[in-house]
Amino acid sequence: MSEPAITPELVQKHNLTPEEYEKLKATLGREPSYTELGIFSVMWSEHCSYKNTRPLLKTFPTKSPRILVGAGEENAGIIDIGDGLAIAFKIESHNHPSAVEPFQGAATGVGGIIRDIFTMGARPICSVNSLRFGPITEDAKRANSTGANELSPIANNRRLFGGVVAGIAHYGNCFGIPTVAGEVYFDKSYEGNPLVNAFCLGVLRHEQIARGQACGIGNPVFYVGPATGRDGLAGAAFASQDLTEESAEKQRGAVQVGDPFMEKLVCEACLELLATGAVAGIQDMGAAGLTCSTCETAARAGTGIEIELDKVPQRAPDMSSYEIMLSESQERMLIIVHKGREEEVKRIFDKWDLPWSEIGVVTDTGHMVVKHHGKIVADIPARKIADESPVYQREAKEPAYLKEVRAFNLSGVPDTQDPMADLKALLGWPTIASKNWVYRQYDHMVRDNTVVCPGSDAAVLRIKEDCLPAVSATQHATHTTPEKLIALSVDGNGAYVYLDPYEGGKIVVAEAARNLACSGAAPLGVTDNLNYANPHNPELFWQLKESVRGLADACRAFNAPVTGGNCSLYNQHPAGPIDPTPTVAMVGMIDKPEHITTQWFKDEGDAIILLGEVVDASDPLFGLGGSAYLQRIHGLKNGTPPRCDLEKEKELHLALRALIYSGVVKSAHDCSEGGLAVTLAESCISQQIARETPRLIGAQIDLTEEAVPPSPPLEERAGERRPVPNLDAAVHGDSPTADRAAALRLDALLFGEAQGRVIISVAAVDAVKVLAQAKILGISATRIGTVGGEGLQIKTPGATLSGDVTELHDLWWNSIARAMR
């Protein structure tokens, strides 16, 4: 088959700039072949090389005494959890494929991240996901704006949402891995460009860590897994360009097709093979397929690798070398075997009925050499293409829209006139509503290690002996493996980051850490997924740069090193860019089973205590900037988001864990989207004691001035700040400051999203002791109510809210199901 001539137009189609093409030629010392052009295109794409983000990623904290495999070293980071055990975890995106083919795009995203984990020698034990879509609730104006044969934006968002969830459920359920946690947001900025971030965690012993290195000159190279096809061609390059209708249609073939049953066989066979000691190196064929796995393993080991494409199993006739090297067909692995141990490899893969082929050898040339039909079709220095891609310091410029954001005040926003109606609207808003429609499609109990299922602040799993990869007959455990308890949370808030990238980045990490603290866990580490738009736009790159600064500062504050992750740029569609959306998955450890804490109230008569300030008096918007309340009730995404004081947050988490460890805390729920009122409602309605049976419990809350002595709100006047004299007067309008945006309002009290707040419940007899202990620990604590009663009642200086918990639960529990009917 003749290859096309290399022209400037062809180079441009491969997303290489003229300068990059010159660098390519300098690397080779000649013009490239067509196959080599394709190889450089995928390896120098943002998805594989991080050429626009690498300088920023170096600012993350990545060191810790617990780190066994650090960020960027291998396919996933590994952290020590004691007693010779370790966990491997990572999060990655499959955004563009899911926009084009939601089911397969999401399914293969799950498959890819699972392979990253067992490639490290770890047995995958759970998965988590973070999802973003356009709105799924009807808007009559928008619904009627499309033509008769056009799918409305709402209908298309539902199609994408349903397809993605089905794809995740299909792959995870068939593979046999529980999906234990996640988050879902809906916002217009994700319309047409959904975000699908998949996380996986696995367990292994220290001595079982495997490396993706082509070690040992003369060692044979094996291909394992199903035959290579034309699906997934140049998927990495597709993920590194703006998503348009035209590009989506052209790149439909870049979406891979997954087979979870095949992946299960590959996983078990690889773990069994690793136990024999016959493996010198192992790498999955993920993004960029055979290209990435060969050059990266050689680059890591400082060796060369030579493969023969005629020996690669192929399921399509007459595949070119370009297609074979760039295919991203799923469930394939590259394994470097110690010479002389080939028969063990063949025996194990035959046992598991898996295709295999010996396709190459490790060399001392330092080059990746590819042969096809007896000819060399690619000869590239492995380290130069894997590690020395172009790196750019992009221009960053503060966006113009932030001037309006900072000038925003509440003077034009009427205070709530019906707070209970607003609370109901927030509970029924799909972003806040229960995500049971999603997680009930997932098997979250398979393998029977899930201690806290989806629906609380963090999931909790136990790690026991049968979670670990098997050892060979010649190996044996020297002692019984003690059970470990791991907590997981994934968080992100694109609206906050859009309105203030630095503070928003801090809040993402702080909320993940707060969720772990509410479960009784201390952080171990973080993996992040950076979902942003086009880095060539200075204003969009500024969002990325500033939010990474916030993420890094917060990770340092909570002693949660970044173990790895993924950058997904070019997330924008013809209508505009997505909100900048860093997603953080944080893993923590709980020392004892009795420390496990969930978010729902437990017993009638228990005292309800707020840890943290009722309002943030230093915030002129009192936590309403960027809030769910402004978005849902007033249709506004504006205002500076609440401030995140990392030192105060850290002290809160330490104090909360201390209270939990003392045995007095019955429930703990962090205060985030929707503010205090939503947090209290969720604490009443979020416990499920059976699949169809909720356990609902009321609460009587008093937020009047007499019950809650406030921190004095601040007023800005002539550049100075001074306290508003009387909170009650400010609420009722009797204060000279009542007409100013800084005056505390009822909506701010109920729905403001000030950071650093947690609602806990304790036995009534322990309440005084807890308040005294909190004071000793240096954190604000206020008893604000009692568990029990006919429903949820909240007394405030301006109004008393009364709601039936059965009605609140129905709105919250069934909102997404009703939208998806």
Active site residues: 47, 94
**CA–CA separation, 40 vs 38, rounded Å?**
5
Please give the structure tokens belonging to residue 58.
């170096």
Q: Residue 220: which residues within 8 A CB-CB, separation 6 or more?
A: 336, 337, 339, 342, 358, 360, 361, 362
Rg for the chain, CA atoms, rounded = 27
β-pair type (581-590, 484-491) = antiparallel
State how far the alpha carbon of 539 is from the alpha carbons of 34, 403, 543, 545, in Å: 36, 13, 7, 10
Residue 319: name the closest of 1, 750, 781, 678 by CA.
Answer: 1
Phi, psi of 762 (to 5 degrees): -140, 160
Give the helix/strand (H/E) hosting 263: helix 260-276
Q: Residue 45: which residues within 8 A CB-CB, separation 6 or more?
A: 15, 236, 237, 239, 240, 288
**CA–CA separation, 208 vs 263, rounded Å?**
20
Residue in the block written with tokens 């709980």: 590
3-state secondary structure of 605: coil
Q: Are 558 and 180 in contact (CB under 8 A)?
A: no
> Bridge partners of 762?
607, 665
Q: Are 95 and 193 in contact (CB under 8 A)?
A: yes
Give the helix/strand (H/E) hosting 531: strand 522-531
β-pair type (607-611, 781-787) = antiparallel
Helices (H), 148-259: 153-175, 235-238, 245-250
**CA–CA separation, 189 vs 493, rounded Å?**
12
Residue in the block written with tokens 């002996």: 465
**CA–CA separation, 447 vs 210, rounded Å?**
24
**CA–CA separation, 113 vs 68, rounded Å?**
19
Residue in the block written with tokens 């506004």: 636
**CA–CA separation, 663 vs 308, rounded Å?**
63
Crossing angle for the helix pair 538-557 and 646-661, to the nearest 10 degrees:
40
- In Å, the largest CA–CA distance within the chain is 89
Per-residue DSSP letter, 578: P
Residue in the block written with tokens 């806290």: 452
State how far the alpha carbon of 581 is from the alpha carbons of 48, 268, 323, 614, 767, in Å: 20, 35, 33, 28, 39
**CA–CA separation, 675 vs 718, rounded Å?**
31
Strand spans (E) along 26-116: 67-69, 77-82, 85-93
Three-point CA angle 256, 262, 264, nearest 5°: 115
Residue 430: name the closest of 599, 642, 188 by CA.
Answer: 188
**CA–CA separation, 475 vs 492, rounded Å?**
43
**CA–CA separation, 298 vs 215, rounded Å?**
8
Crossing angle for the helix pair 260-276 and 102-118, to the nearest 10 degrees:
10
**CA–CA separation, 128 vs 608, rounded Å?**
31
Please give the structure tokens belonging to residue 458.
């963090």
Phi, psi of 87 (to 5 degrees): -120, 140
Phi, psi of 147 (to 5 degrees): -75, 170
